[in-house]
Amino acid sequence: MIHVIAFYLFAILVVSSGALTILSRNPVHSVLWLILAFFNAAGLMILLGAEFIAMLLVIVYVGAVAVLFLFVVMMLDIDFAELRAGFVSYLPFGLLIAAVLLAEIILGIGLWSAGPIELAQRAGPVNPELSNIQAIGGLLYTRYIFLFEAAGIVLLVAMIGAIVLTHRARGGVRGQNVAKQNRRRPQDAVRNINQPVGQGVEL
């Protein structure tokens, strides 16, 4: 009973906040609705028993990605009229994507209802006694170790690419040398002088 109520609560919130993400006019509100959608999706994952995925969803998407989104969107100075002007020209493309996604959903549901999926035929049969983290870790670090490392390399390349694209050497920047700052003592910076009256200070 509680499961059912929780499922419908989370599901309705995911769908409606997803809709409001694209419907709301203020981009900051859009990001906030998106965050709510992520959060409720995590709730759905927990109901499915995938608590590890749910926590990762919250940590990675809500805790990091969406904060960065919000960070960028908050600082934008957006002309709302201009933003809505492209709506008609993008409409065919948007409809195409919607059609593809709808077809995928129908295919997915069709395959699901075609018959029970045998547990043994899954790519990695899981031991039901293991917790999710152990099962995922066991698969990731043994069977899929090369794919896992390849994903790591892809991320590394992306990171280097981002740095290369945005980094430029600027002249005339005064950097901080912390070791030098820590080595500095009062006698290096301050000196007492007995200045004769009527003469300027020599600095």
Instruction: Kindly state the smallest distance separating residue 16's Cβ from other proteins, in Å.
Output: 16
52 vs 144, beta carbon nearer other proteins:
52
- What HEC string does the chain produce? CHHHHHHHHHHHHHHHHHHHHHHCCCHHHHHHHHHHHHHHHHHHHHHCCCHHHHHHHHHHHHHHHHHHHHHHHHHCCCCHHHHHHCHHHHHHHHHHHHHHHHHHHHHHHHHHHHCCCCHHHCCCCCCCCCCHHHHHHHHHHHHCHHHHHHHHHHHHHHHHHHHHHHCCCCCCCCCCCHHHHHHCCHHHHCCCCCCCCCCCCCC
Residue type, 166: T
Instruction: Kindly state the smallest distance separating residue 81's Cβ from other proteins, in Å.
Output: 20
11 vs 135, beta carbon nearer other proteins:
135
Instruction: Kindly state the smallest distance separating residue 59's Cβ from other proteins, in Å.
Output: 5
32 vs 44, beta carbon nearer other proteins:
32
59 vs 98, beta carbon nearer other proteins:
59
114 vs 178, beta carbon nearer other proteins:
178
Q: Are 9 and 39 in contact (CB under 8 A)?
A: no
Instruction: Kindly state the smallest distance separating residue 178's Cβ from other proteins, in Å.
Output: 7
Instruction: Kindly state the smallest distance separating residue 93's Cβ from other proteins, in Å.
Output: 31
Using CB under 8 A as the criterion, which residues of the chain lie in contact with other proteins when the complex forms?
1-2, 28, 32, 35, 51-52, 55-56, 58-59, 62-64, 67-68, 70-71, 74-75, 131-133, 176, 178
Nearest to 18 by CA among 32, 2, 1: 32
14 vs 35, beta carbon nearer other proteins:
35
Instruction: Kindly state the smallest distance separating residue 51's Cβ from other proteins, in Å.
Output: 5
